[in-house]
Amino acid sequence: MPQSQSQQDQFRRKLAAFLGITFEELEEYAEEVEENNGDYGNQKYTYTLQFSKETPEEVLARLTRISRRRIVYFNLEELGD
């Protein structure tokens, strides 16, 4: 079911807070959230978020779960309510 723009913004604001970056940084440097059927390390993650090559190092440094390919893996449950 498609989400309204306000629902998408609310989700992305919650995601930005979870990642430790601003909503504006997320909007500028991150692609769309995609479903993932794999794992990363010992954890199974349901969603991925790719960051662009233009993402400044200072932003990447705040992302504790980012891979060398600038991908963050997460589950929706981790975002809380």
Question: Tell me: the pLDDT tens digits for 30-74?
Answer: 998 998 776 556 566 688 999 999 999 999 999 988 999 999 988
Q: Where are the domains of the chain?
A: 5-79
Q: Say if residues 51 and 81 touch (Cβ distance below 8 Å).
A: no
pTM above 0.95, yes or no: no
Residue with tokens 């479903």: 35
> 26: Cβ–Cβ under 8 A, 6 or more apart, which residues?
12, 15, 16, 19
DSSP 70: S
